[in-house]
Amino acid sequence: MMQLVTFARQIDAWRTARLAAPAKNPENARLANTIFAVDSYNKRRQAQKTPMSQQANAAGQPARRDLANAIRALSMDAVQAANSGHPGAPMGMADIAEVLWNDYLKHNPANPRWPNRDRFVLSNGHGSMLLYSLLHLTGYDVSMDELRNFRQFSQRTAGHPEYEPGMGVETTTGPLGQGVTNAVGMALAEKMLAAGFNRDGFPVVDHRTWVFLGDGCLMEGISHEACSLAGTLKLGKLVAFYDDNDISIDGDVGGWFTDDTPKRFESYGWQVIRDVDGHDSAAVAAAIEQATADTGKPTLICCKTVIGYGAPNKQGTASTHGAPLGEDEIAAARETLGWNHPPFEIPSAIAAAWDARERGASDEAAWAELLAAYANEHPELAKEFGRRINGELPDGWASFADAAIAKIDAAAENMATRKASLVALNAFAPELPELAGGSADLTGSNLTKHAGSKVITGDDASGNYIYFGVREFGMTAICNGMALHGGIIPYSGTFLVFSDYARNALRMAALMGIQQILVYTHDSIGLGEDGPTHQPIEHVASLRLMPNMCVWRPCDTVETAVAWRNAIERRDGPTSLVLTRQGVPHQPRDTTQIGNIARGGYVLRDSAGQPDAILIATGSEVALAVAAAERLAGEGTDARVVSMPCTSVFESQDAEYRDAVLPPDVTARVVVEAGATATWWRYAGTAGKVIGIDRFGKSAPAGELFEYFGFSVDNVVDTVKSIVTK
């Protein structure tokens, strides 16, 4: 086959000579159509590069300030109607938003899930009315009634943006700093997918990530973690607008935030555009042009703005930040801005100028043509791209996973579950190119780098492994952003005790219901000599208490593989894999028991008849429970051992199954887990006992610690005997 460039020249000749050659040869016709599709896409994209601010203003076209004032009016009116909210940021950033959304943002309001759309993240999420106004004005499914009912019960226009891809909200923001960190993850995902799927002449993955952020985001430490890594990874399609208004909740930030922000970002390796007048549309457009011209670095555009711009008596003060302006100030703002329209009314000319549906449909149509041509030239790549973007697992995945787990069971290896996790990764990863992740500087301990891992660098994003550095919070929120982007199943690793650093990002993943696999190793006092600072006690219980967080604490290689499979297949929330440092034995099972692992809890060792007692255990303590049950049997007490690697999955089973595993009439129950006892009393009941740890650990060899804290066969046997009545 001739090279694409050769055919491009031929097509040029066909065009000039007006020959019918393409019709005479099917192969030539196919390639000609491919070239025309690429040409069409490139022409449309080129046409977008002339912003409105550089075009002659058509007769009757609203002024840019009037377009921005529509945002200001909707924002101050909605906050006033709710009697709560934050009008200052929307009013201060309205001019920036108007330029970005009308001139540069590539999106289609009729299809908020278009894969090649630009991503927009409002990191300063308290300014939510800015986003809702933009969505309404440009034609998304956000009605004026929803704006009127801002912050009200059962309304999608919540106080802070809540992830809703169907209405154009790309991520939940509110906790400051996480939005920009999610954006780093989105930009990283775009770069990875582009490296994996784009081919010469076919930029099927080609979009930017835009972020609005304020002083509060930059004060949060997570912004340093994320933005430092963004510079190292050269995320050149990431553009952040810094709303530099010198105000936070407590007032003028000069008393607590005197960083040289431009120098800070320059040290990260960002392109920094300083001192942009955020109320000058032409200056904002010029800054964006400069930002997009350099795709080798992320860009920070530092925009000087006035918070609450247009409110004559309150602008520039903290009083506009988090409270309604009041009826009198709103009336004065209307006069100052020249906005002579009732609340929640947008003049038809302004509404028409904002409407982005026609342009968005055209942009998506051009991309669809490009994708169709891409499918002709690279059918297998196109099929794989569609699968990954749609979040589908490979054909035959279930059979593949079954076989992998059966193989792991047949090997019957004794090892730490952190090592078992690597075994599972090595088994599953070849079938899942979308599986990508890394560790917060603990790769060799977390064992997150599998045999097929390729490290991502600033110059080569074609890999699947990320060295996140010591950035637990940033790592977790970046992976949230990767999941939100789509096309990637992210995983991240650290010691379980350091999940504390990432806590709010875990909560955000669970709240949004997005997939992330959290690999948490060194899960108990089994860490040993590193002592109580590194020994998690309350962490597993805390994670179990988090709504929509699925927590697996497997006992051996087989349970670990099943846990990984569950995490891979779960698309509606994050999964924590809690793994041991110390070795644990393989537990023999039949095929029914292996199948029941996926139900969260199952009978691992049963009694001859109705059990006298039930031992419930997880992780490294399952082997202890089995050993105790065997001794008890020799002493005339029949004990059932229930392994419960995931309580939430077990609770989701029907009552018949749960009662079969834990018969209600067997009240002599002992739970064994090397961690806080609080969440286990629901299973132990008032007649049972829990062997756990409700104090901090100690520094000593692991074996000594387990004995000291009561995790011994003798203590488990004695505890069971103390509650069994015959």
What amino acid positions are annotated as catalytic residues?
A: 472
| Residue 636 burial (C-beta neighbours within 10 Å; 0-12, 13-18, 19+) | exposed
Tokens at residue 452, please? 């097929």
Rounding to the nearest 10 degrees, give the CA dihedral for residues 194, 196, 201, 207: -10
Strand partners, 465: 437, 455
Is the distance from CB of 207 to CB of 236 less than 8 angstroms? no
* Alpha helix segments (H runs only) across 570-654: 591-597, 621-634, 647-651
Tokens at residue 152, please? 């009200």
CA 223 to chain centre: 16
Name the phi and psi angles at 623, rounded to 5: -60, -35
How far apart are the C-alpha atoms of 414 and 675, rounded to whole Å? 23
| Residue 328 burial (C-beta neighbours within 10 Å; 0-12, 13-18, 19+) | exposed
Instruction: Write the CA distances from 673 to 189, 618, 689, integer angstroms.
Output: 38, 6, 12
Sign of the torsion angle spanned by Cα atoms 39, 44, 49, 50: positive
Residue 257 has, within 13 A of its CA and on its CB side, a CA count of: 20
Name the phi and psi angles at 379, rounded to 5: -60, -40
Name the phi and psi angles at 6, rounded to 5: -65, -45
Residue in this structure with the two tokens 């190292």, named with its chain if needed: 232
How far apart are the C-alpha atoms of 162 and 436, rounded to whole Å? 25
Is the distance from CB of 474 to CB of 225 less than 8 angstroms? yes
How far apart are the C-alpha atoms of 336 and 314, rounded to whole Å? 12
Tokens at residue 160, please? 């802070």
Instruction: Write the CA distances from 285 to 60, 237, 292, 579, 608, integer angstroms.
Output: 22, 16, 11, 51, 78
How far apart are the C-alpha atoms of 208 and 103, rounded to whole Å? 14
How far apart are the C-alpha atoms of 367 and 350, rounded to whole Å? 28
Is the distance from CB of 194 to CB of 205 less than 8 angstroms? yes
